Amino acid sequence: MLLNLLPGWDSLRAKAEQFSEMHLDKLLHDPERQQKLMFSSLEHFVMDFSKQRLSSEVLDELIDLAKQAKVEEKIQGLLSGEIVNKSENRAALHTALRAPSAEECFLEDKQFNKKIQKSLNKMEVLIKRIQAKQWRGFTGKPIKDIVNIGVGGSDLGPLMTTYALKEFTAPDSKKLNIHFASSIDGAQLAGLLPGLNPETTLFIVVSKSFSTIDTLSNANTAVSWLKTAGADEALLKKLHFIGISSTTEKMTDWGIAKSNQLLFWDWVGGRYSLWSTVGFSIALQIGMEGFKEFLAGAHHLDKHLAETPLEKNIPVLLSLIDIWNCNFLRTNAHAILPYDGRLKHFHAYLEQLEMESNGKSVSVGNEDINYRTCPILWGEVGPNAQHAFYQLLHQGTESVNSDFLVAIKRCTGEARDVKESFAEHHSLNLSNCLAQSRVLALGSTALSLDEQMKLSPHQQYAGSQSSTTILIDQLTPYTLGSLIALYEHKVFISSILWDINPFDQWGVELGKSIANKIQPALQGEKLDYLDCSTSALIEQVKRTLAEAEQQS
C-alpha cells in the first residue's frame, strides 16, 4: 500500500508540523531523552537518535506505521527467498551468500547454500595460488599486482572494503598490490599501467553479464597493454585474467580459461555482490579467514533483522528515522560523515546502494508515487568535510539529516610511543565527531550566554540540524560486514514503506542504450581520435547530436 494511504500517515503529518517548528535545543533539555533514544540492541554498535527532531512517542507511531506496512512479514519474505524483485521476477538472495552453513541459511533449499560454498571454495583455491606465488605469468614470474576491472557494484564494494580493511591484510598478501579500474574513459588504466609490469600483473574482470561495455573496454585495453610485452593473446588471457560472472559461455568466448572462471548468479544485484566471488579482491587482501569474518558480521545483522522486535530492530529504526525526515519533516538531503579515514569510500558505496535502490517514482503496483522516496546522499570523511561543506550544514539554508560514524577504540602501531601518538589522534577525532553533531543540533546555544552575546550575525549558528550518531566498538572485518548489512537492510525497510522495488535499476538503462546508438555515428567518419584536430572532432559531435535529435 502507498505510504500516504497507511492509517498512521495523517497523525504523523500533524506531529511533523509541531516538530518542524521546534528547535532541537528544547528537545535536548529532556534529561531522559538520551536514555529513550539511544539503542544498544545490536552487538558492537550503539545508535544515538537523541539529536533527531522527534520524540520517543513519535518513534512509537513510526513503528506502528511499519507494522501497518507489514514490515515484519516482508522481512521474512526477503529472507526466505520470496520473489521480491517483481519487475524481474526474482528473489533477492544476497543474505544467503553470507550464511555460514546450510543449517543457518534462511532458505528451505539447503542445497542452495552448498552451491554458494562451492563457488567460494574455488575462489579460495585461486587466492592461495596467488598468495603462495604459484600463479605465474607468461614468463614464469609470480604475480605481484592484481587489477580489479569492474564498474558500479563490481568496483565500489570491493574498493571501499579493501581500503577500509587494509590494516587487516593477511601475512601472505602483504607483498601483493591490489588496484581498481572502472572509468570508461580509460583514465584510471592510463595512470595505472605505466607503473606495472606485464609479466607479473593479473587482471580480475568482473561483470555479471560479461557484456558491460565499460568493463570489457578496460579489459580489452589490458590485453593490448599485455601484448606489448610480445606474448600471444590467447596465452595472455589464459595466464593473466580471472573472470567473475554469471555466464561461463561469455567468459569462455572472451578467452578466459574455465579453471580461472568464478561464478555468481543473476539474483545477485551488483550493489549486493561483494559478499559473493565479486569480493575476490577483498578475500585476497584479508585472506579467506578474514573474508569469512566479514561474511559472519553481515550474517549477524541478518539474524538481528529476522529475530529482533521492531521496537529494538536497528535497521528498522534507522529506516524509520529516514522516513520521518524525508516524508514528514521534508528534509531531502542526507550526509554520510564517517570520522574514520578508513571509511573514505563508504559514502560513495552508499550513494549507489541507496539511490540506485530507492530512487524510484513508481510503486510496486505500477502506480505513480506522489511523495518523496530516496533522499539525496553525499558525504566525506568528517575531518575533511569540516573544512569543506560543513559551512552549508552549519549556516546554509538547506535542512540536512546526517549520519556520524565513529569507532570508539582505535589501535595502530606496535611501539608504545606510536600507540600513544595515535591515541591522541583518536581522542581529537572523537571529540570533533561529538562536537560537530552537538553544534549542528544546538547551534549558537551550545555556547554560554556571554559567548553568544559577543557573536555578530555572521557568526551565528542556527542549529536544529538532525543527526544520528553510530558508534562502533572498533572497525574490523566483522563489524564492517555488519555495518554494510545494516545499511542494506535499512534500504530494504524504506522500500517497503515507500512501496517500491529496491532491487531493479531500469533508470540506468536508457542512457546506455542511447550511448550505443550514438557511438557508431561518432565513428562514422573514421576520425583518428589521437591525431585528429579538436575542431574536426567538435564538428563531428555536433552533427551526431543533431542527427540523434532529428531521429528522436
- Which amino acid is present at 131? Q
Catalytic residue among 114, 512, 517, 542: 512
CB 107 within 8 A of CB 96: yes
CA distance 17 to 53: 11
Contacts of residue 127, Cβ cutoff 8 Å, sequence gap at least 6: 280, 283, 284, 287, 288
| All cell numbers assigned to 363 | 510503486
Instruction: Tell me the CB-side half-sphere exposure of residue 94, using CA atoms within 13 A.
Output: 23
Question: In angstroms, what CA-CA distances link 250 with 89, 161, 216, 276, 466?
Answer: 23, 28, 11, 19, 49
CA distance 448 to 204: 58
414 is catalytic: no
| All cell numbers assigned to 439 | 553544534
The residue length of the chain stands at 552
Question: In angstroms, what CA-CA distances link 91 with 2, 72, 218?
Answer: 22, 17, 31
444-467 burial: b if 16+ Cβ within 10 Å, else e = ebbeeeeeeeeeeeeeebebbbbb
Contacts of residue 278, Cβ cutoff 8 Å, sequence gap at least 6: 150, 153, 154, 157, 158, 206, 244, 264, 268
Contacts of residue 392, Cβ cutoff 8 Å, sequence gap at least 6: 398, 400
Strand, helix or coil for residue 137? coil
Q: Given the C-alpha cell 553481515, which residue does it identify?
A: 298
Catalytic residue among 29, 258, 387, 458: 387
Point out which residues pair with 404 in neighbouring strands.
337, 469
Handedness of CA 383, 468, 163, 237 (dihedral sign): negative
CB 165 within 8 A of CB 285: yes
| All cell numbers assigned to 429 | 577525532
- Which amino acid is present at 299? H
CA distance 325 to 490: 14
CB 375 within 8 A of CB 333: yes
Contacts of residue 329, Cβ cutoff 8 Å, sequence gap at least 6: 16, 19, 20, 53, 399, 466
512 is catalytic: yes
Closest CA to 140 of 239, 213, 23: 239
Q: How many of the other CB atoms lie within 10 Å of CB of 138?
A: 17
Contacts of residue 294, Cβ cutoff 8 Å, sequence gap at least 6: 161, 165, 279, 282, 286, 477, 478, 480, 481
15 is catalytic: no
Instruction: Return the percent helix, strand and coil in the chain, to nearest 5.
Output: 55, 10, 30
Catalytic residue among 199, 354, 356, 380: 356
Distance of CA 411 to the CA centre of its chain: 25
Residues marked active site are found at: 356, 387, 512
